[in-house]
A and B are shown apart, each in its own frame.
Chain A
Amino acid sequence: AGITQSPRHKVTETGTPVTLRCHQTENHRYMYWYRQDPGMGLRLIYYSASEGTTDKGEVPNGYNVSRLNKREFSLRLESAAPSQTSVYFCAISDPGTTGGYTFGSGTRLTVV
């Protein structure tokens, strides 16, 4: 429903750059990147309240983001580290909606 994450799975080597992409068709204002690790729940990496604006979440170190337009929000790991092995979720929300977040299907990233 409305959010596409790419790729779905990726294995990469330590030190290589990685970009995860998120595209929404819902035209929601807010977009988010979370990582999910066992026993840690979901932790916010970065979020964006509008095109061209981004803000740090709970665990931003080692990541950069770009809100290219209202529908695209990318997450970049400049130099992937094994500690960044995780499942990454993109989410969207809008003040006008009543259902909280809508999540993408997730990207499973493994850094070897």
Chain B
Amino acid sequence: AQKVTQAQTEISVVEKEDVTLDCVYETRDTTYYLFWYKQPPSGELVFLIRRNSFDEQNEISGRYSWNFQKSTSSFNFTITASQVVDSAVYFCALGRRPNTGNQFYFGTGTSLTVIP
């Protein structure tokens, strides 16, 4: 069975602090994909990153970085020097191989509030 757990329901940080959002997943697939999405107060869902299960290289994009560890089935997301505009709900998702229906499994989300 596929499952994504985001244990942190809500997080509050003061602006310029670093914050890490945790994501733990379960799957028996050998090939899978991991994603992070951002949902700002306006409600739309914005794609942030996709990682393939065979590529454990960490990634950095500006203030965002992602730490993928297959050994612990985790795909954590760190925001460095947080800003008020980072306030949003963040979803981690697990995707199966292309051409497999019902591809995505979402976590319940982490609501991040950055206090000015």
Q: Tell me the A residues contacting B by CB distance below 8 Å.
A: 30, 32, 39-44, 47, 49, 55, 57, 87, 89, 91, 93-96, 98-103, 105-106
Contact = CB atoms under 8 A, between A and B. Distances in A.
Nearest to A42: B106
Interface residues of B, number: 22
A43 to B, nearest CB: 8
A57 B101 CA distance: 9
Interface in B58-94: 91, 93
Contact of B101 (A39, A43, A49, A94): A49
Contact of A41 (B43, B101, B103, B108): B108
Q: By DSSP majority rule, is chain B's interface helix, strand, loop, or mixed?
A: loop
A95 B100 CA distance: 9
A101 B46 CA distance: 9
Contacts of B47: 99-102
Given A42-B91, A106-B43, A100 B101 contact: no
Contact of A55 (B33, B35, B101, B106): B101
Given A49-B101, A89-B45, A105-B44, A100 B93 contact: yes
Given A95-B98, A100-B95, A105 B103 contact: no
B99 A95 contact: yes
A30 B107 contact: no
Given A39-B108, A41-B91, A100-B35, A57 B102 contact: yes
B106 to A, nearest CB: 4
A55 B95 CA distance: 17
Interface string B34-67: 0101000001110100100000000000000000
**Most chain-B CB neighbours within 10 Å: which of A43, A47, A100, A105?**
A100
24 contacts: A39-B9, A40-B108, A41-B109, A43-B106, A44-B102, A87-B43, A89-B45, A91-B104, A93-B103, A96-B98, A98-B50, A99-B47, A99-B50, A100-B35, A100-B47, A100-B50, A100-B104, A101-B35, A101-B45, A101-B47, A101-B93, A101-B104, A103-B45, A106-B44
